[in-house]
Amino acid sequence: MTTLLKFLKAKLEDLRQDRSIRYDLIKDIVEYLHEYADKHHHPCEDIIYSYYLEHRKDEKVADGVHKLAEQHIKISALTEHLCDMTEMILMDAVVPQQQYIDALDEFLEIQTNHLNYEEDHILPALREELTDADWQAIIALLPYDGIDDVDSLKELARKSDPLFGDNVQERYQSLRENLGA
């Protein structure tokens, strides 16, 4: 995720300096984020967050968790918007450069803030407060069959991630090479 955001930030800078960029790669990234993060990763986080909200009482953490869940909705909408704009450019439709720069900028800002807040504040708090029994209960709520512990969940994530996982999907092959990942 950080690799993708870094890549997009560099592309944003290229656009600001009026350098040309490969929109096909941007499209792959945004599509990946929409397909994988918005549809799989975030819903899993949302399940963890709502479990926390139901079972824990630390109000500061609960506020943060609430905020993150709301941001997932906004991120999904911004991702879709950026995806549409990128597709239009690839189809040679006229999209004002400044409009595209603004959309990419807004997208990157919310994604970066979201990730930092999650990693610096919320995930450490959840790790501290949730017990093994809690994680067991959360795993049972996830929409996957045959997953009964954190390790098998991690393995599933590794296998099913179409870009960074063990089996890179053909459509992401070129992106993966260009990311140098």
Q: Which range in 41-49, 105-113, 126-134, 170-178 contacts Fe ion by CB under 5 A? A: 41-49
Instruction: Identify whether the C-beta of residue 168 lies closer than 8 Å to the C-beta of residue 162.
Output: yes
CA dist., res. 143 & res. 56, Å (int)? 22
We find the least distance from the C-beta atom of residue 89 to Fe ion, in angstroms, to be 28
Using CA atoms, how far residue 100 sits from 24, 35, 95, 118, in Å, is 14, 21, 7, 27
Of 82 and 100, nearer to Fe ion (C-beta) is 82
We find the least distance from the C-beta atom of residue 105 to Fe ion, in angstroms, to be 20
Q: Is 31 in the site for Fe ion (CB under 5 A)?
A: no
Taking CB under 5 A as the criterion, the residue among 27, 45, 61, 122 binding Fe ion is: 45
CA dist., res. 107 & res. 109, Å (int)? 6
Residue 84 sits at the vertex; the CA angle it makes with 41 and 160, to the nearest 5 degrees, is: 25
Q: Which range in 16-24, 37-45, 51-59, 143-151 contacts Fe ion by CB under 5 A? A: 37-45
Q: Which range in 43-51, 56-64, 80-88, 100-108 contacts Fe ion by CB under 5 A? A: 43-51
Instruction: Report the interface residues with Fe ion, using CB under 5 A.
Output: 45
